[in-house]
């Protein structure tokens, strides 16, 4: 497609949207301000750089063995740079503590410091991107019987409390250095495979552990804390200490953020409906946008109805400024750079779709009880010339239009990924 064709298609599209009272230029302007926190762990199958030799476990599972996984921090950074060259806008990189660079020395997780993230910070600064962080409560010998912060063993709890504190401090150093607040998100796998005889004590221990982690005062301009609930995990099918109710109450009572992960609920339960409920009581939330297929399988995010519902809730509710949108999936059966590009572009498409909806008219119809008009317009929305708007957006943001990004990824695979053996 030529630039002229792109522009003509865009102009006609804008006219169609204007008929619905939608200002496409204003929508696009809004979209350029959104930074998606793109998860580092799609690039290397959640392995990190501690060289434990093990693949994840502790409630997480990655399947597939597509060649070209990033094996070093430099490879991961290079792969991510290739991905963001194909994604419109300026985004963030979401690290896990297990991606620390310890220069070949074994540094345990209770001894990590900002010095182990100095390469990440320097790189992010040079690329003008923000960083986020997650303490890593899995793939470690001190996850004993699937337990960390809820362990009945005080020494185990102490180890993991220290890890949490270290990560918050690292987060603050990152946020300060980059001038962009770091979100430190805590998820633990703790639970029971079979019916527990005591659901209470682990949760009481978890509150105590969390309170110890969050006790040190940290400047909220540098680091924000969030907690991530879950319904169940592999090997924790019967009980998860950090359930939704648990962390929702925790976040509200302690003033942390809450992370809603799209894969962490019953298969027919959507996080879209939770956003306005939770944001009525919390100033800010974080999202792990994911795609569960039958279970929390963490498939690459596609442009599904539930993704669109999430974006609509954020945009239509006026919550863009209060929602930290992050991605969380890991598919090792396809090109990992492509997985980043596909999922992030879909997240952005969903946001742009929501931003170009005739929301003023929809809300007006609803207010006056005219549900016929509401339904009619919601259906008309679906066939507006969105493709022309998205293509034009990619073009003006200097990234490939349409499927042209795929050839770039294929070239990178040939030149770089396929040589990794
Ligand atoms: C696990 C949680 C958690 C992880 C990442 C790797 O179910 O979703 O967010 O996926 O931290
Ligand atoms: Zn998650």
Q: Is the CB of 261 under 6 A from ligand 1?
A: yes
Atom of ligand 1 nearest to the CA of 259: 9
Tens-digit pLDDT profile for residues 338-393:
999 999 999 999 999 999 999 999 999 999 999 999 999 999 999 999 999 999 99
Q: Is the CB of 390 within 6 Å of ligand 1? A: no
Check whether 216 has a pLDDT greater than 90: yes
Length of the chain as a residue count: 421
Catalytic residue among 296, 313, 331, 408: 296
Say how many Å lie between the CA of residue 136 and the centre of ligand 1.
9
- State the CATH architecture for 34-358: Alpha-Beta Barrel (3.20)
Say if CB 314 and CB 388 are below 8 A apart: no
Q: How many CB atoms lie within 10 A of CB 414?
A: 10
Q: What confidence tens digit (pLDDT) does each residue in 276-327 have?
A: 999 999 999 999 999 999 999 999 999 999 999 999 999 999 999 999 999 9
Residues 6+ apart with CB under 8 A from 252: 281, 282
Q: What is the pLDDT of residue 54?
A: 67
Q: What is the band of 53 on the pLDDT scale with cuts at 50, 70, 90?
A: low
Specify whether 331 is catalytic: no
* Mean pLDDT within 106-116: 98
Which listed ligand is nearest to 59 at the C-alpha?
1
Locate the domains of the chain by residue range. Answer: 34-358
Judged against a pLDDT cut of 80, whether residue 52 lies above it is answered with no
- For residue 330, the model assigns a pLDDT of 97
The answer, yes or no, to whether any atom of ligand 1 lies below 6 A from the CB of 328, is yes
pLDDT tens by residue, 155-187: 999 999 999 999 999 999 999 999 999 999 999
């Amino acid at each position: 497609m030529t630039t002229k064709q792109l522009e003509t298609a865009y102009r006609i599209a804008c006219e169609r949207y204007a008929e619905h009272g939608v200002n496409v230029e204003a929508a696009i302007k809004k979209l350029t301000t959104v930074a998606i926190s793109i998860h580092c762990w799609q690039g290397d199958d959640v392995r990190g750089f501690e060289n434990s030799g093990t693949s994840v476990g502790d409630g997480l599972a990655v399947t597939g063995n597509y060649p070209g996984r990033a094996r070093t921090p430099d490879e991961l950074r290079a792969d991510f740079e290739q991905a963001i060259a194909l994604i419109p806008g300026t985004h963030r990189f979401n690290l896990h503590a297990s991606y620390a660079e310890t220069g070949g020395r074994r540094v345990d997780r209770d001894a990590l410091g900002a010095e182990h993230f100095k390469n990440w910070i320097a790189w992010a600064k040079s690329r003008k991107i923000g960083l986020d962080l997650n303490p890593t409560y899995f793939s470690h010998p001190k996850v004993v019987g699937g337990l960390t912060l809820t362990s009945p063993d005080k020494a185990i709890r102490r180890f993991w409390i220290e890890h949490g504190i270290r990560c918050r401090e690292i987060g603050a150093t990152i946020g300060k250095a980059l001038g962009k607040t770091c979100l430190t998100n805590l998820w633990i796998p703790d639970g029971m495979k079979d019916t527990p005889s005591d659901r209470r004590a682990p949760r009481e221990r978890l509150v105590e552990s969390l309170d110890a982690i969050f006790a040190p005062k940290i400047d909220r301009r540098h680091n924000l804390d969030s907690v991530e609930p879950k319904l169940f995990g592999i090997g924790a099918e019967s009980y998860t200490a950090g359930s939704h109710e648990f962390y929702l109450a925790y976040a509200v009572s302690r003033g942390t953020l809450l992370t809603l992960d799209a894969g962490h609920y019953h298969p027919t339960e959507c996080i879209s409906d939770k956003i306005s409920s939770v944001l009525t009581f919390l100033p800010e939330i974080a999202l792990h946008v994911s795609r569960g297929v039958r279970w929390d399988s963490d498939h690459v995010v596609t442009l599904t109805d539930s993704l669109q519902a999430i974006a609509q809730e954020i945009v239509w509710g006026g919550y863009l400024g209060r929602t930290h949108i992050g991605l969380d999936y890991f598919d090792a059966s396809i090109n990992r750079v492509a997985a980043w590009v596909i999922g992030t572009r879909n997240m952005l498409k969903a946001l742009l779709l929501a931003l170009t909806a005739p929301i003023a008219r929809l809300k007006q119809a609803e207010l006056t009880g005219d549900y016929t008009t509401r339904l009619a317009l919601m259906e008309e929305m679906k066939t507006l010339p969105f493709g022309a708007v998205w293509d034009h957006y990619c073009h003006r943001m200097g990234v490939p239009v349409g499927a042209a990004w795929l050839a770039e990824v294929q070239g990178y695979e040939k030149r770089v990924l396929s040589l990794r053996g």
